[in-house]
Amino acid sequence: MEIFKRLPRHIGIIPDGNRRWAQRQGMEKQDGYTYGIDPGFQLYERCMELGIEEMTFYGFTQDNTKRPKEQTTAFQKACVDAVEGLAHRDAELLVIGNTKSPLFPKELIPYTKPVKFGKGSMRVNFLVNYGWNWDLTEGLKNSNVYSRQELLKNIASSEVSRIDLIIRWGGRRRLSGFLPIQSIYADFFVVEDYWPDFELQHLYKALEWYQKQDITLGG
Amino acid sequence: MEIFKRLPRHIGIIPDGNRRWAQRQGMEKQDGYTYGIDPGFQLYERCMELGIEEMTFYGFTQDNTKRPKEQTTAFQKACVDAVEGLAHRDAELLVIGNTKSPLFPKELIPYTKPVKFGKGSMRVNFLVNYGWNWDLTEGLKNSNVYSRQELLKNIASSEVSRIDLIIRWGGRRRLSGFLPIQSIYADFFVVEDYWPDFELQHLYKALEWYQKQDITLGG
């Protein structure tokens, strides 16, 4: 494994391409999601070893729930299975999403406040039934002052820190509503391979690229 | 010039690399901005011919105003010169930014409401002393209900439509606060060349790439 001079503190993960991968394998679209769980753990384990402090995984969004029932059921189950897998590892988990909708898996409600597994070494945020508009508006309902600090304090994802690097699998070069506030200055790396075809080399390429970027925050 | 099957309705432009270009030419950083004006008009003219309905140009941000005085003066002047050049062409111009700050060029205040030049064929939005946080919070101060429609109706940039394609020059793969709401589903194309080295081929490559993208809006 390579040595990196400058690592991101917080990495955002958009694990896209599960359905396209399944179709390429001759499976039904919804069968792809279950093959996306193990790659997530490989990525988490290696980022832990590298000392990454925080990771945020894009589970599913409120927009995704417009998809056919067999798909929504499949990605809901994959999210629950992923959390059960993480519960046997070392992380502080926070699930963020709209719990008021029936599409939010009830099994995950206990994790909508941070929960430590093991030593709770790495902060892992998991977006489940998340919506960018829900994120921005939900919290703001409860605030009166709109200074910069207040905005960031009041959005639904206010416990999620600024993201340094976003890695998206599946070739698409768009954020698709992924934490718009925390992603403002994030460097965006796209992997062409579909998420179930994850390899550690994808992570290393993203980190090699990231350490060459000049962080200015507009200054 | 090539024929495109599917064109974006609205293109966002991040014209980055003026300072790095100037340094490479052996000039002072601030001397780069004036070389960024003509490329903007070449791009605008060709997009007009292609029938693009709306373009949004990133002028400068509130974060940029932390830079040395000679740079802020230079990019403020470049923005004013760009608008004066556009006034002799065919566009409906809207300048969006925080006019309450002394860093907003007073000459541009008349354009903070849409103004037609010529037939007013193409809508051109120009972000001047813009800040993502200002955008989201300023308008929200005046609204009480936070339905999705209300949020989009109340942000400071509410007259700017959803962006289909963002093209950024200068090699950086980040949005840097560019219209976070309208950019949610935008496809993001990065040109390695610095903005003053603009060529129409950059636009054509971006449009060729864009028409191959699959637009799902999360569905």
**The pLDDT of residue B146 is above 60:** no
Question: What is the gyration radius of the CA atoms in chain A, in angstroms?
Answer: 17
DSSP A192: -
> Which of A65-69, A191-195, B59-63, B213-217 bottoms out in mean pLDDT, i.e. has the lowest?
B213-217
**The pLDDT of residue B140 is above 80:** no
User: pLDDT tier at B200 (50, 70, 90 boundaries)?
Assistant: very high
Judging contacts by C-beta atoms under 8 Å, the chain B residues touching residue A66 are 218-219
Which of A181, A214, A219 is the closest to B67 by Cβ? Answer: A219
DSSP calls for A23-41: HHTTS-GGGGGGGGHHHHH
Largest CA distance in chain A: 53
The dihedral sign for the CA sequence A104, A169, A118, A7:
negative
Segment 188-217 of chain B within 8 Å of chain A by CB = 188-189, 213-214, 217
Judging contacts by C-beta atoms under 8 Å, the chain A residues touching residue B72 are none
Q: How far is A215 from chain B (nearest CA, A)?
A: 10
Q: Which residues pair with B124 in a beta bridge?
A: B55, B93
The overall average pLDDT reported for chain B is 92
Print burial letters for A136-174: b (CB count within 10 Å at least 16), e (below 16).
bbbbbeeeeebeeeebbebbbbeebbbbbbbbbbbebbb
Q: Does A137 touch chain B (CB under 8 A)?
A: yes
**Residue A199 CB partners (closer than 8 Å, separation 6+):** A193
DSSP calls for chain B: ----SS--SEEEEEE--HHHHHHHTTS-GGGGGGGGHHHHHHHHHHHHHHT--EEEEEEEETTGGGS-HHHHHHHHHHHHHHHHHHTTSSEEEEEES-TTSTTS-GGGGGGGS-EEETT--EEEEEEEEE-HHHHHHHHHTT----SHHHHHHHSTTTTSPPPSEEEEESS----TTS-TTTTTT-EEEEE-S-GGG--HHHHHHHHHHHHTS---TT-
Task: Tell me which amino acid residue B166 is.
Answer: I
- B184/A177 Cβ within 8 A: yes
- A148/B172 Cβ within 8 A: no
DSSP A218: T
pLDDT at residue B147, as a whole number: 54
pLDDT at residue B137, as a whole number: 81
Q: How far apart are CA A14 and CA A12, in angstroms?
A: 7
pLDDT tens digits for B159-182?
999 999 999 999 999 999 999 999
Q: Does A97 touch chain B (CB under 8 A)?
A: no
| B2 CA to centre of own chain | 24
Q: CB A102: neighbour CB atoms within 10 A?
A: 8
pLDDT tens digits for B73-102?
999 999 999 999 999 999 999 999 999 999
Judging contacts by C-beta atoms under 8 Å, the chain A residues touching residue B173 are 187-189, 213
* ipTM of the complex model: 0.92
pLDDT at residue B216, as a whole number: 73
Per-residue pLDDT of chain A (219 residues; tens, 9 = 90+): 567 889 999 999 999 999 999 999 999 999 999 999 999 999 999 999 999 999 999 999 998 989 999 999 999 999 999 999 999 999 999 999 999 999 999 999 999 999 999 999 999 999 999 999 899 887 666 666 555 557 777 889 999 999 999 999 999 999 999 999 999 999 999 999 999 999 999 999 999 999 999 877 766
- The DSSP element (H or E) to which A187 belongs, if any, is strand A187-191
Q: Does B185 touch chain A (CB under 8 A)?
A: yes
In chain B, what are the domains? Answer: 10-130+163-208 (3.40.1180.10)
User: pLDDT tier at B135 (50, 70, 90 boundaries)?
Assistant: very high
Say how many CA atoms lie within 13 Å of B4 toward its Cβ: 21
Which of A151, A176, A218 is the closest to B177 by Cβ? Answer: A218
Q: Does A143 touch chain B (CB under 8 A)?
A: no
Which of A172, A173, A188 is the closest to B174 by Cβ? Answer: A188
pLDDT at residue B37, as a whole number: 96
**The pLDDT of residue B148 is above 60:** no
Q: How far is A116 from chain B (nearest CA, A)?
A: 31
pLDDT at residue A19, as a whole number: 95
Judging contacts by C-beta atoms under 8 Å, the chain A residues touching residue B66 are 218-219
